[in-house]
Amino acid sequence: MSGLPVALDVSRETLEKLRAYEALVRKWNSKINLVAQGTLDDFSSRHIQDSIAIARATAMHGQWLDLGSGGGLPGIVVAILADPERSVTLIESDGRKAAFLNTVRRELGLDLRVIPDRIEDVDPFAADVVSARALAPLPRLLELCVRHGHPRTRYILPKGRNWRQEVMEAEASWVYDVEIIESPVDPSSVILKITNLDRA
C-alpha cells in the first residue's frame, strides 16, 4: 500500500496518480535502482514533496524539459501536475530507466515524451523551463542546461547544502539572475530559479 499522505495539497485524481507512480517505483527499484533504497520509506517527503515544489517554482505553462530524469524525479511529478498548456519532455540516457519512464507514461496516461539519449547529443530544445535534480555540480549543470534553453528560459535546479559554494563557482563562468526558494524537505537545501543565463 502506498505511503503517500492525503495532505499534499493536490486533487484526489492527482493524488491517485502520485500513489500509482510510487507503487511503480517500488516495484521496479530493486531491479534498476531508481532511487536510493534507504529513501523509499520517506518517498513522499523525500521525493514527491520536493518534486512538487520544483514543479510549482515557476508558471505552469510552456515547454518543460527535465534533464537526466532517472526514475522520474521531478519530471514525472511535473507531468502529473501539468495543465494542458504545458508539454513535458524527459531526457534519460540509461535505457532501463527510460523504459521505466515510458511504462509510467503508459500506465498513468501521462502526456509526456521520453528521449532515451545523452543530454549533449539531443538537438537543442529551446525549452521554456529546464529542470535537473541531483545531476551535476552547478557550473557543469549550467553548461548542460543552456544548450536547451532560450533567452527567457527559467532553469529550476534543486541543490543541497553546498549550494552557496556551487553558486560561487558558477559565477566564474556564468552570469544570471537567481531566486533562492527554500526547500520544503530539507532546511539546508534550496531550489535555484535561474533566469537571464549567459556566459560570463
Got the DSSP string for 148-169? T--TT-EEEEEE-TTHHHHHHH
68 is in an annotated binding site: yes
The verdict on residue 1 lying in a domain is no
The verdict on residue 158 lying in a domain is yes
pLDDT of residue 5: 46
The CATH number for 119's domain is 3.40.50.150
Between residues 59 and 60, which one has the greater pLDDT? 59
119 is in an annotated binding site: yes
Give the tens place of pLDDT for each residue, 7-56: 467 889 999 999 999 999 999 998 998 887 767 777 877 789 999 999 99
Q: At what angle do helices 12-32 and 95-108 cross, to 10 degrees?
A: 150
Averaged pLDDT for residues 67-96? 93
**Number of domains the chain contains:** 1
120 is in an annotated binding site: yes
Strand partners, 157: 192
Residue keyed to cell 563562468 = 173
The verdict on residue 5 lying in a domain is no
* 3-state helix/strand/coil string of 127-151: CCEEEECCCCCHHHHHHHHHCCCCC
Alpha carbon distances (Å) from 76 to 16, 170, 199: 14, 28, 30
Averaged pLDDT for residues 173-184? 95
The verdict on residue 46 lying in a domain is yes
Averaged pLDDT for residues 149-176? 96
Residue 2 has pLDDT above 50, yes or no: no
Over its C-alpha atoms, the chain yields an Rg (Å, rounded) of: 16
The verdict on residue 176 lying in a domain is yes
The verdict on residue 184 lying in a domain is yes
Lowest-pLDDT choice from 38-42, 127-131, 161-165 = 38-42
Averaged pLDDT for residues 184-194? 93
The verdict on residue 4 lying in a domain is no
**Residue at 196: amino acid letter:** N
Residue 181 has pLDDT above 70, yes or no: yes
